[in-house]
Structure 1
């Protein structure tokens, strides 16, 4: 049994290795034969009247996992343990009717033997399937048990298409010719119809999407591809302003191969890391190409939900001052990864003669005038804290970072590419298959496997990490040593993807002060730490992070709505992320956020849930 440590999501993976007696058996001579034999038995067991045959195909005890995204239920679930899996499936398989299971025959995800960690070997393959409600893909990972039988250690299933509702893309792309227009061109050509459509002259939007960043744009494209009428609103003047208005030197921290948006990849000559203004302009291009209906400079005045009619009433004020009441069936909240800025206050802060502001308000050091020689204290050592510190240093300021606890550091030029190697890089598999494989392991299992990868990255970046430690910067690899991913999904911070600031710290050009107990107070010209030390300062930047996404929803939609929602991010008891991309706790309200890559992947799942709800499938 896997050992439990500090958290229920800290696991130790078991050892499974194939036995010599198995290697010589003809029917088990290749991973393809192992996988095919198991999958045939699995499909037969899924159609059996009891779960007895299914039990025989799954590793006993707590060492089996099945992660499911919408194929078995209208939620994101992780089932652990043979009995939990079979009990869950026992009441569902007759309704789900999973059938037509087929192994992937070529490419990276055809059957193969993998060695994820020392002492653990499994046969891995992608497969496709159909259900009563649609079709999807999955990943199987089979291990050899002590008696020489191959059984499922890890399974993943994901619904990708609803029956009878194919995405309007690829083989089902729209015709586009005038003869395809409803009622004929006499009722308006494409442009004339688009102008009416954008203003919702002839219909109400079925879905209101709040926010036109990467979450909202991906979401709108996915919803419209399922034939749903969608309005996206944003308070900004232009699409892309959520990136355009951030600090001047910002670039994406993920490489381009990982950050494609739904249906529209970045061009082949796009830079590896995208400058913020270039990305903002791309968002405008994307919105136009995807024919998204977006109202800019638009704010919500009120929003109410009727449990009786199961619909929303939302009062909007547009940029011209005019109001519009819309009655969407569903709302998707896409205002970013996090909530409101966490802005602490301290005794004596009003007497401070310098400038104090939160990192979310930072645009560029030059906005403070001539900062040469000014003493700048940056409170916080995550991505923003590092980028802001580097920005001030490059403009001539004397910069000190204040660190309370350890920070995970990974370089953009080395470690980051190791994370994506073989999946999201040039020559990698199709992005959609990589997305299936990338989400196919239970999150606690990902944590466990990431420990080894974190160690490899640590070795590759040894010189830099030792340099940071030498000057007093605390590097933290996570509570379980699993690195960046766990910090992202549980904390939304606590890490830095190094794009240059680490070397400035190592060289002593940016100073670091430790203060585990934080800040005591401000004086007129200084920051006083908890232990009494004083740091002279002209500017203090509070790079102190953000609150739960639910706080922004409360501000936008009110207490009545927010009180029915769950908190967002961190993990539930099963190891799935709370409320994000899945039922929020409030009917017909969805949270959508995350990195560019996560928005591409999970916008499909949210769109499928929205469509299924409209079709009445989730009530069955």
Structure 2
């Protein structure tokens, strides 16, 4: 289809949608969607994340009465302008799978009346049976609050109006944050640092508490078998990022007791152990960015009798010391694959992986092609690509995967999968048997990646027999020599590594916040709710002044802005 036609189709649909929006005509607005169309709204029409499927649910949401008006009329989305100058200008799209869904996609900007804000949208249009172009998906996203736009400028040299150098200015800024932080962020990994940087650019004082002695140590202490960037380089990047963004961070610091929230003052009381000093802080907002939880260590009878070395995969650092030893790794996900590969590379006498449940396996080559290279081509700005990717309703994405998307991805790895099956390795792309093949996306969005293996070489070692597979039997108990299974079979080992994942975020939150606060929250802090949005993550938690920042770079990079906007709106009294 010619670019002129793509532009004309998009402009005509957008003009009609704007008329419906600016006049508050809910019925007309909804008529611009297919019968199975989706509306995903992030903060434009409510201070939350919503994803609605079908005219009935979209109509119900937009018709809700807010300050005496319908939600659509009260929000006042107007001034729609089609994007003509970025990679998200009108273009054709096609989803893989037997349905052959294809149409026109593109971005547009708009204004929000209440509150005064700037927004950006993204649409995917396909023709209806009568030839009318309607939305398969529509994304509306708050970009900035008017008058409080995110700053992209740093301070250099002598600051205008202030007779101080850049170094003096930064030092004064950090001292002001330490004296009275508006936001206290627990955890100095990528999520905590990114949120602190976002808040700083919105003019909000944010202090980061990090238990390790150096920014990036949470990565330096990991196994050095990453997807692309070696752990040391990534750790060094986080350290330089913190310095370049002028973030206020207390290292070697922990929360010493359960935080207390005072509803009358709308502030927290948090006791910090900073080295040998105890400090009491009273932030308005508490952000938990502590990652995926503490190590999950199952207990089996006889573990204390085992005479070899036993540890959790989180503490794996040096396979070289076990050269010539017999190794058993319990688990068959990413950590297990990386660690087994590490042991083989460093000359272990024998490496056996115990697979207790089926694993979703995607080779790094296929992941590069389907999950990284296509959605994130290096020639395009990452902000534009993040925006396009996050315009997709999560539940709709999983529907597409079930209807052919996952099958399309699996074709690239047919040879690898066949070899793994012959080696006794159990594969799946379903979260539950018979629930549909959601693939890698489903495992990441619902299980924070548990149960997947991005294969960077472990698969080949399994196929070649260099990593043996023990599958199909549960562990009965340990003895002094190794592991005993329910069928009576045994595995002797000098080293046993428990690649058994991490505790849930909710369990870690309970240990940190205590029962009283945790019981006010949803039992889930990751995974998809009934609309396909992530539970409590970068959105209201259910408790005032409490937020959760969790997830990989691609999540925190985009949603840290939304967390900042929500906190800013509360500070301005408009949320």
In 1, the alpha carbon distance for the partners of 2:136 and 2:78 equals 20
Q: CA deviation at 1:175?
A: 5.4
C-alpha distance 48-194 of structure 1, shift in aligned 2 (>3 A)? closer
Q: Which residue, 289, 298, 314 being the options, matches 1:344? A: 298
Residue 220 of structure 1: aligned partner: 196
Matched, 1:168 2:125: no
In 2, the alpha carbon distance for the partners of 1:478 and 1:38 equals 37
Q: CA deviation at 1:49?
A: 4.6
Q: Which runs of 5+ in 1 are unaligned?
A: 1-22, 254-272
Residue 19 of structure 2: aligned partner: 44
In 2, the alpha carbon distance for the partners of 1:55 and 1:340 equals 45
In 1, the alpha carbon distance for the partners of 2:500 and 2:390 equals 30
Residue deviations 1:160-218 (CA, integer Å, cap 9, x gap): 1111111111xxx245342425xx22xx4332343343344884011111111100110
Residue 126 of structure 2: aligned partner: 143
In 1, the alpha carbon distance for the partners of 2:181 and 2:211 equals 18
In 2, the alpha carbon distance for the partners of 1:49 and 1:128 equals 18
C-alpha distance 384-174 of structure 1, shift in aligned 2 (>3 A)? closer
Residue 312 of structure 2: aligned partner: 358
Q: Which residue, 183, 186, 192 being the options, matches 1:210? A: 186
In 2, the alpha carbon distance for the partners of 1:564 and 1:176 equals 45
Q: Secondary structure at the match of 1:419?
A: helix
Structure 1 segment 109-188 matched on structure 2, within 5 A: 109-117=88-96, 118-132=99-113, 133=115, 134-169=117-152, 173-174=153-154, 176-181=156-161, 184-185=162-163, 188=164
Aligned residues: 556
Residue 318 of structure 1: aligned partner: 274
Is 2:297–2:500's contact at 8 Å kept on the other side of the alignment? yes
Q: Secondary structure at the match of 2:526?
A: coil
Structure 1 segment 223-262 matched on structure 2, within 5 A: 223-247=199-223, 249-251=224-226, 253=227
Q: Which runs of 5+ in 2 are unaligned?
A: 64-69
Residue 10 of structure 1: aligned partner: none
Is 2:210–2:253's contact at 8 Å kept on the other side of the alignment? yes
Structure 1 segment 75-94 matched on structure 2, within 5 A: 75-90=48-63, 91-94=70-73
Residue deviations 1:410-431 (CA, integer Å, cap 9, x gap): 122333332223331222x321
In 2, the alpha carbon distance for the partners of 1:231 and 1:541 equals 36
Residue 245 of structure 2: aligned partner: 290
Q: Which residue, 578, 589, 594 being the options, matches 2:546? A: 589
Is 2:177–2:205's contact at 8 Å kept on the other side of the alignment? no
Q: Which residue, 426, 437, 445 being the options, matches 2:378? A: 426
Is 1:415–1:460's contact at 8 Å kept on the other side of the alignment? no
TM-score (norm 1): 0.86
Residue 16 of structure 1: aligned partner: none
C-alpha distance 489-360 of structure 1, shift in aligned 2 (>3 A)? same
Residue 15 of structure 1: aligned partner: none
Residue 446 of structure 1: aligned partner: 397
Q: CA deviation at 1:484?
A: 0.8
In 2, the alpha carbon distance for the partners of 1:198 and 1:50 equals 49
Q: Please, what is the CA RMSD of the aligned residues?
A: 2.0
In 1, the alpha carbon distance for the partners of 2:442 and 2:222 equals 26
Matched, 1:396 2:347: yes
Residue deviations 1:56-85 (CA, integer Å, cap 9, x gap): 32223xx02101111111111111110211
Residue deviations 1:531-585 (CA, integer Å, cap 9, x gap): 2211112221111111211222223333333232222111111111111111112
Q: CA deviation at 1:86?
A: 1.8
In 1, the alpha carbon distance for the partners of 2:377 and 2:129 equals 38
Is 1:528–1:535's contact at 8 Å kept on the other side of the alignment? yes
C-alpha distance 107-174 of structure 1, shift in aligned 2 (>3 A)? closer
Residue 556 of structure 1: aligned partner: 512
In 2, the alpha carbon distance for the partners of 1:157 and 1:589 equals 25
